[in-house]
Amino acid sequence: QPQPMGGVPATGTHTLLLAGDDAGSGQDPGAGVVGTERLMGVEDGQRRCRCVVPQRAVLVVLIFLAEVICYVDRTNISVAIIPMQHQYGWSSSTKGNILSAFYYGYLITQIPAGWLAAKYGGKIILGAGVVLWSLFTILTPPVAGYLPLLLLMRVLLGAGEGVTFPSVHDLVANWYPGNEVTRAIAIMTSGQEAGTVISMILTPLVAAYIGWPYVFYMFGALGFVWYLFFHVLASARPETHPWISHQEVLLIRENSNTHNADNSEIPWRQFFVASAVWAIATAHFCFNFGWYIVLGWLPSYFNDVLHVQLAELGWPSVLPFAFMCISTITSGFASDYLISTELLSLLCAARCPAARFLAAVTGPMRLTSLHNIAVCV
């Protein structure tokens, strides 16, 4: 779009009519989805900044990086606690209490975070969570010598990270067409495994050659850097994003599976008695039971039982999570393709992870009977 003299874009107003706001327009109320937004700084129906990259793609990258940092800060103590235990003389039970303290805070903020994200937008809640948990990560080394404060810091870190996924799902619901949701979530959640991989590779090296406190200082600082980009580049809703194109907003809203219904219209009773809800909750519980045992204790097992040195813990510890990262992305794309081409029903796609889950549980069951690092790998 041509610029006025001096390179300053012309300003004006343009009203974007979406579904539910057809008064006086003569348009079909089903043409879009959510009401009217007045977009400032727009001329002739075009945004003042025409971005080649779709903004929902930018959001995918930002959330992926947020989940990378989330899991780096969550898992780095799995390795760092080995030299910390030696320095402070902690017993195995104390070590277990420190590792588990995170999840008390993580549990408490899940449901409130979902309500807050729905009310105020996922951007605010996710941004606040990243800043808080990054702060508590940095504060971990100074309080490590005083156990009650260390436990408190782990609880607060968990509380900060507990807002991550409720706010992410709010952003996904508002930003992605129905046929892109699975792929978007697959890419975003692969950040969990990617963050674990990064943590398992770098933490042993940093702890062995620089010192375990720098594990928390370095990784904690990443959250503040991420927030600067997220604050500028992200928006809670497509309609309020300053750079998104008119066409992308319409694409999102015309193909969205969600509607801005009032909370009073949500059928809570049917929700809680639905067998599908309990099936998902049960599968998630069982998966997490094994996942977090491996996540928290695998480095200690390699160090204590198989006598792998601290600096060499990265390569054996990282393999399960590296392959899980690849599997998460590929299965998301494959699922979307099979459903969209009607080669696989939605019900069958939902049942497929059960087979993978049954195969996965056999690994940890065999691990405890092995005493050779090569065979464990």
- The string of DSSP codes covering 144-196 is TTSHHHHHHHHHHHHHHHTTHHHHHHHHHHHH--GGGHHHHHHHHHHHHHHHH
Where the chain has pLDDT below 70, the residues are 1-51, 257-264, 314, 325, 332-333, 335-340, 342-377
Spacing of C-alpha 216 from chain mean position: 20
Closest CA to 165 of 61, 51, 243, 71: 71
Do residues 277 and 271 touch, judged by C-beta distance below 8 A?
yes
Residue 43: what pLDDT? 36
In sequence order, the 6+-apart residues with CB closer than 8 A to the CB of 115 are none
- pLDDT value at residue 140: 96
Looking at residue 48, its pLDDT comes to: 44
Structure token digits, residue 218: 């370095």
**Encoded tokens for 131:** 């800043």
Using CA atoms, how far residue 65 sits from 14, 71, 302, 350, 373, in Å, is 34, 10, 28, 26, 31
Q: How many residues does the chain have?
A: 377
- Report pTM: 0.73
Nearest CA among 67, 100, 133 for reference residue 297: 100
pLDDT of residue 350: 59
Specify the residue for token string 């899991």.
71
CA 107/CA 161 separation, integer angstroms: 10
Paired tokens of 290: 């094994």
User: Which of 106, 49, 53, 52 lies closest to 75, judged by CA?
Assistant: 106
At 267 the pLDDT is 82
